[in-house]
Amino acid sequence: MSNIIVLGSQWGDEGKGKIVDLFAEKFDVVARYQGGHNAGHTVQVGPQKFVLKLIPSGVLHSGKQVVIGNGVVIDPQALLDEIEMLEKAGFDPVSKISISNRAHIIFPFHRLVEKVSEGRTDRVAIGTTSRGIGPCYEDKIGRRGLRMADLLNEKLFYSLFDDLAADKRTVAEAFGLDAAIDYEGIREDYRNMAEKIRPMVRDTAALLNGLIASGKRVLFEGAQGTMLDIDHGTYPFVTSSSAAAGGACTGTGVPPTKINGVIGVSKAYITRVGGGPFPSEDTGEGGNIIREAGLEYGSVTGRPRRCGWFDVPLLRYTAMVNGFDSLIVTKLDVLDGLGDLKVCTAYNVGGVITDEMPAGNMLLESVEAVYETVPGWDQPTSGVTRYDDLPKEARDYVALLEEKTGVEVGAVSTGPERSETIVRPGSRLEKLLG
List of residues contacting ligand IMO (CB under 6 A) = 8, 12-13, 38-41, 126-129, 131, 133-134, 223-225, 228, 239-240, 273-274
Q: Which one, of 2, 4, 34, 1, lies nearest residue 265 by Cα?
A: 4
Q: Which residues of 211-224 are buried (b: 16+ CB within 10 A; e: fewer)?
A: bbeeeebbbbbbbb
Active site (annotated) includes residue 41: yes
Element (H, E) at 31: strand 29-32
Among candidate residues 37, 41, 104, 110, the one labeled active-site is 41
- Residue 264: Cβ-neighbour burial (10 angstroms; 0-12, 13-18, 19+): buried
Contacts by residues 247-251 (CB-CB < 8 Å, ≥ 24 positions apart): 247/33, 247/34, 247/71, 247/222, 248/5, 248/7, 248/31, 248/33, 248/220, 248/222, 250/33, 250/71, 251/32, 251/33, 251/34, 251/69, 251/70, 251/71, 251/72
Binding of ligand GDP by 150 (CB under 6 A)? no
Rounded to a whole number of angstroms, the minimum distance from the CB of residue 268 to ligand GDP is 8
Q: What does the alpha-carbon distance between residue 276 and residue 239 come to, in Å, rounded to a whole number?
A: 12
Residue 126 touches which of ligand GDP, Mg ion, ligand IMO, none (Cβ within 5-8 Å per kind): ligand IMO
* DSSP notation for 97-117: EEEETT-EE--HHHHHHHHHH
Binding segment for ligand GDP among 23-31, 233-241, 310-318, 329-337 (CB under 6 A)?
Answer: 329-337
Residue 275 Rama label (left phi>0; alpha psi -120 to 50; beta): beta
Rounded to a whole number of angstroms, the minimum distance from the CB of residue 201 to ligand IMO is 23
Residues 398-427 that bind ligand GDP (CB under 6 A): 413-416
Q: What does the alpha-carbon distance between residue 262 and residue 331 come to, in Å, rounded to a whole number?
A: 20
Residue 306 touches which of ligand IMO, Mg ion, ligand GDP, none (Cβ within 5-8 Å per kind): none
Question: Which of 2, 42, 117, 301 is close enough to bind ligand GDP by CB under 6 A?
Answer: 42
Question: Which of 13, 21, 139, 229 is close enough to bind Mg ion by CB under 5 A?
Answer: 13
Question: Which of 3, 17, 65, 263 is close enough to bind ligand GDP by CB under 6 A?
Answer: 17
Binding of Mg ion by 225 (CB under 5 A)? no
Binding of ligand GDP by 16 (CB under 6 A)? yes
Active site (annotated) includes residue 61: no
Binding of ligand GDP by 333 (CB under 6 A)? yes
Rg (CA), the chain: 22
Residue 404 touches which of ligand IMO, ligand GDP, Mg ion, none (Cβ within 5-8 Å per kind): none
Site string for Mg ion, 25-54 (x = CB under 5 A): ---------------x--------------
Binding site for Mg ion (CB under 5 A): 13, 40, 299
Binding site for ligand GDP (CB under 6 A): 8, 12-18, 40-42, 44, 299, 330-331, 333-334, 413-416
Catalytic residues, which ones? Answer: 13, 41
